[in-house]
Amino acid sequence: MSITYVEDGLAEPLADALAALGQEYPIAKDAGDVRVRFAPIEGGPRRYRIRKAGGELVVEYGDLTRALRAVGTILAQPDLSGEVEEQLDFETFGIMLDCSRNAVMKAPHLEAWLRRLALMGFNMAMLYTEDTFALEGEPYFGYQRGAYTAEELRDIDAYARRLGIEMIPCVQTLGHMAQILKWPAYADVKDTRTVMLAEEPKTLALIEKIIRHWSEVFGTRRIHVGMDETHDLGRGVYMDRHGYRDGFEIFNEHLGRVVKLCEQYGLRPMIWSDMYFRLGSKTGDYYDKDARVPDEARAKIPKQAQLVYWDYYHKDEAFYEDWIERHRALGFEPIMGSGVWTWCSVWHATNYTEAKAGACVRACKRAGLKEIFFTMWGDDGSMCDFDSAMTGLTYVSELAYGGEVVEERAAGRYAALCGGDWRASRLAGMLNFMEPEDLPDGDERGGIWGWPTLWDDPLLGIYWNDKKAQKREAWIEALSRYAEIAEELQRRCQGRVDVRGGDLKHALLIARILSAKVALRIRLEQACAQRDTAALRQIPEQALELVKLLDALDTSYRRQWMRRNKPFGIEVIQVRIAGLIRRYREVIDRVTELMEGKIDRIPELESVPAEPARVHPSYGPVTTACDNFA
């Protein structure tokens, strides 16, 4: 199906956007299957309507964003009958893509993302860059990290503007700077491992250079300056120099200086809001209902800054509404930062996005919030196939525009824009959490995660023991679930698979590995406990099969990474996979030695905690109980 657009009376920005979309989609001014005429409407900038008129479709639209959303609707529903009308309650509807956790998306791939975002109706995008941009005179910014050049960023910004998308820089100007502070060259601006040194002239000089750089490469007059999670602010070199000072005072004074620098370059800053709530909490919790921000501290928050309320964790709509009002009580209309779950995940986490971002969108609409964006973090190595996030982006866009998600329409839009199977991608997302319906609010560790299951050491079983201590039959249930997902993905992956919405064959491979890994551990424990010689003889062969699967994962992972990202950062996951392969060879060695009588037991299998440790589900804690850095 192809779209022909009528040039007569077509606004130049829309014509330019349609030409950009035509690079990938069947949209042209020549003869096509569906003839579309565009007509701007007054007084409804956040809505569009599609209606039939004679032998063509007429798109009445309020602005460029709504016009392009309408094009996406036509691509998804070429046989439209009757009228279609949608309205977006948000003035800003955007995303934030993490480019600081090893994965720096290549510019051409990012442009493809921008095309899909435009057709879904998004109008803003942030690239979260702590240090992954080249900064003049600062050779360690982005060193071996795939830094964006100024030219790349200007080109990305220009392309986004063609599609009606505002690119907003998203940086850090206080905390989350471990990647740059690890270099000796930045010792003079270092307070603690992750936090920059407040009140230091060299710190402000570096921040000014960062702000000036972004004011020059992006056309927007907005900038996100970060400043979140500075838990040990003023507790390192700062305390040695100045003694103890109240965290609110240090934070507000530093923010005031950053705001002035932004004003100097014609930018309006926004910051993550968590530190105000954490500093007002006795437990340091962002979501502490007993937290109280002192009036004196509230009065000193610079009014020029916007507060971004980030929350990816709650399923309760009332909680979001409460926290929105708490931000308003500080004297600020917040921007909402929700989450499309890509972090600590082997695939976009379907259930977390739909339950938590879904609740957030509904609450924000009810509260009358005007700006929302969806973060896509890459914590712990960015192993997730980020293209799979298109499933979640489809979901939140359908909810925001339509007020509800009709599965058939959502699947049609996803298929038209990404060429993929929306239901299969959502199914693959269930590899991440085994008991999603039963998870209590805020407890991501309540179920079994696919990510730590993959990395869990096959002999030590730190994550294995933890989950087994919480629920004795947990792994039996997980094995059944993994096997079911693998079987269904196998059925859906027959023939060619379009990878624009994530490589489902890659997800299938992970499902097979998780299933085989859990099955092998169950057999190994039982065989050793029962001294079952016949079962033990089968273990080396089964472990070798897992080695082959992991080797295939290494190849598959490299393929999807290089298709999407710059090459820097892939080494982290390659080393992890190689380490896991070696540990399965250790399983083979140890079982062989046991059968040959060279050893009489495998001590690691017998070391089991009396109660759950509730280990953090990330690579380091589940691979060893020893010191990685000794």
CATH number at residue 601: 1.20.120.670
Domain stop point among 87, 112, 133: 87
Give the per-residue pLDDT at 79.
Answer: 82
Give the per-residue pLDDT at 434.
Answer: 58
pLDDT > 50? residue 444: no
pLDDT > 50? residue 436: no
Which of 548, 504, 501, 242 minimizes the C-alpha distance to 393?
Answer: 501
Answer whether 70's CB lies under 8 Å from 144's CB.
Answer: no
Give the per-residue pLDDT at 100.
Answer: 98
What residue ranges in 502-591 does DSSP mark as E strands? none
Is 426 inside any structural domain?
no
Residues 352, 462: one domain?
Answer: no
Alpha helices in 182-281 (DSSP H): 201-217, 237-242, 247-264, 274-279
pLDDT > 50? residue 442: no
pLDDT band at 44 (very low <50, low <70, confident <90, very high): low
Residues 125, 204: one domain?
Answer: yes
pTM of the model: 0.96
Is 428 inside any structural domain?
no
Residues 364, 476: one domain?
Answer: no
Residues 120, 171: one domain?
Answer: yes
Q: Is the dihedral of CA 271, 329, 289, 283 positive or negative?
A: positive
**Structure token digits, residue 292:** 């109280």
**pLDDT tens per residue across span 202-222:** 999 999 999 999 999 999 999
Is 408 inside any structural domain?
yes
- Residues 399 and 393: their CA atoms lie apart, in Å, by 10
Domain stop point among 419, 448, 472: 419
How far does Cα 324 stand from its chain's mean position?
22
Q: Which domain holds residue 270?
A: 93-419
Residues 590, 617: one domain?
Answer: yes
Which H or E run includes 50? strand 47-53
In whole numbers, what is the pLDDT of the chain averaged over residues? 94
- Return the CATH number at 41: 3.30.160.230
- Which range of 40-49, 443-452, 490-499, 543-552 scores highest in mean pLDDT? It is 543-552
- Residues 528 and 463: their CA atoms lie apart, in Å, by 19
- Return the CATH number at 320: 3.20.20.80
What does residue 34 show for φ and ψ, rounded to 5 degrees?
A: -120, 125
Is 424 inside any structural domain?
no
Is 430 inside any structural domain?
no
User: What amino acid is encoded at 500 in this protein?
Assistant: R
Residues 411, 442: one domain?
Answer: no
Give the per-residue pLDDT at 432.
Answer: 83
Give the per-residue pLDDT at 445.
Answer: 47
- Residues 232 and 196: their CA atoms lie apart, in Å, by 10
pLDDT > 50? residue 118: yes
- Residues 22 and 262: their CA atoms lie apart, in Å, by 37
**Structure token digits, residue 157:** 């910004």
pLDDT band at 295 (very low <50, low <70, confident <90, very high): confident
Domain stop point among 29, 57, 87: 87
Give the per-residue pLDDT at 342.
Answer: 97
Is 191 inside any structural domain?
yes
Residues 82, 105: one domain?
Answer: no
**pLDDT tens per residue across span 523-575:** 999 999 999 999 999 999 999 999 999 999 999 999 999 999 999 999 999 99
CB-CB neighbours of 409 under 10 Å: 17
Residues 44, 184: one domain?
Answer: no
Mean pLDDT of 344-365: 95
- Residues 271 and 302: their CA atoms lie apart, in Å, by 11
pLDDT band at 367 (very low <50, low <70, confident <90, very high): very high
Domain count, the chain: 3
Give the per-residue pLDDT at 24.
Answer: 97
Is 64 inside any structural domain?
yes
Residues 158, 17: one domain?
Answer: no
The lowest-confidence range among 82-86, 110-114, 238-242, 385-389 is: 82-86
Residues 590, 452: one domain?
Answer: yes
**Structure token digits, residue 427:** 């199914």
Residues 374, 281: one domain?
Answer: yes
pLDDT band at 45 (very low <50, low <70, confident <90, very high): confident
pLDDT > 80? residue 438: no
**pLDDT tens per residue across span 456-466:** 999 999 999 99
Is 235 inside any structural domain?
yes
Give the per-residue pLDDT at 297.
Answer: 82
Mean pLDDT of 382-402: 97
pLDDT > 90? residue 42: no
C-alpha triplet 569, 573, 577: angle, nearest 5°: 155
Mean pLDDT of 103-123: 98
Residues 207, 272: one domain?
Answer: yes
- Residues 15 and 11: their CA atoms lie apart, in Å, by 6
